[in-house]
Amino acid sequence: MNRRHFIKNSLIGVSASIALSPWSAFGQGPAILGSDKLRPQLKHGAASGDVDTTSAVLWSKTNQSAQMWVELSTLPDFSKVETLKGGHALQQTDYNAHTLVRRLLPNTRYFYRVHFQSLKDPKLRSERCSGQFKTAPTEACDVRFCWSADTAGQGFGIDPAHGGMLTFASIRARKPDFFVNSGDLIYADNPMSSEVTLDDGSIWRNQLVEAKTRVAESTDDFRQNFYYNSQDDHLRALQAEVPMIQQWDDHEVVNNWYPQEILDDDRYTLKDVKQLAHNAKTAFFNCNPIRPHDTDPGRIYRKISRGPLLDLFVIDLRSYRGPNTYNHQTSQSADTAFLGADQLKWLKAELKASKATWKIICSDMPIGLVVAEWGKEIYENGANGDDGAPLGRELELADLFHSIAREDITNVHFITADVHYCASHYYNPAKASFKDFKPFWEFVSGPLHAGNFGPNPLDGTFGPEVKFTGIPEGMAPFTPPSAGLQFFGEMEIDGKTQALTVRHFNRIGEEIWSKELQPEHPAKV
* Whether residues 361 and 230 fall in one domain: yes
CB 515 within 8 A of CB 502: yes
Beta bridge partners of 49: 57, 244
Angle at 254 between CA 275 and CA 97, to 5 degrees: 65
Which residue, among 230, 208, 182, 197, has the nearest Cα to 416 in the 3D structure?
182
| Residue 360 maps to a domain | yes
pLDDT tens, residue by residue, 81-114: 999 999 999 999 999 999 999 999 999 999 999 9
What's the pLDDT at 39?
96
Which residue, among 444, 445, 413, has the nearest Cα to 517 in the 3D structure?
413
Question: Which among 134, 162, 189 is the end of a domain?
Answer: 134
Q: Give the C-alpha separation, 133 to 349, whole Å.
A: 30
* Whether residues 158 and 105 fall in one domain: no
Domain of residue 464, CATH code: 3.60.21.70
Helices (DSSP H) in 375-519: which residue ranges? 394-406
Residues of the chain with pLDDT under 70: 1-34
Beta bridge partners of 148: 181
pTM for the model stands at 0.94
475 residue type, one letter: M
* Whether residues 328 and 408 fall in one domain: yes
377 residue type, one letter: E
Mutual angle of helices 394-406 and 341-353, in 10-degree steps: 20
| Residue 464 maps to a domain | yes
| Residue 100 maps to a domain | yes
| Residue 62 maps to a domain | yes
Question: Which among 90, 116, 134 is the end of a domain?
Answer: 134
| Residue 211 maps to a domain | yes
| Residue 47 falls in which region: left (phi positive, over 0), alpha (psi -120 to 50) or beta | beta
* Whether residues 164 and 213 fall in one domain: yes
| Residue 524 maps to a domain | no
What's the pLDDT at 376?
81
The DSSP H or E segment spanning 109 is: strand 109-118
| Residue 357 maps to a domain | yes
**Cα-atom radius of gyration of the chain, to the nearest Å?**
22
* Whether residues 30 and 127 fall in one domain: yes
Question: Which among 134, 169, 198 is the end of a domain?
Answer: 134
* Whether residues 458 and 385 fall in one domain: yes
* Whether residues 147 and 125 fall in one domain: no
Q: Give the C-alpha separation, 286 to 264, whole Å.
A: 28
Q: Sign of the C-alpha dihedral, residues 227, 233, 236, 238?
A: negative
* Whether residues 124 and 162 fall in one domain: no
| Residue 522 maps to a domain | no
Domain of residue 55, CATH code: 2.60.40.380
SS3 call for 197: strand
* Whether residues 59 and 12 fall in one domain: yes
* Whether residues 44 and 184 fall in one domain: no
162 residue type, one letter: H
* Whether residues 224 and 115 fall in one domain: no
Q: Which domain holds residue 472?
A: 143-517
Reported in sequence order, the residue ranges of 192-235 that DSSP labels E, i.e. its strands, are: 195-197, 203-205
What's the pLDDT at 20?
39
Q: Give the C-alpha separation, 329 to 383, whole Å.
A: 12
* Whether residues 368 and 472 fall in one domain: yes
The tally of domains found in the chain comes to: 2
Q: Give the C-alpha separation, 252 to 241, whole Å.
A: 24
Strand 143-148 and strand 412-416: pairing? unpaired
Q: Give the C-alpha separation, 392 to 371, whole Å.
A: 14
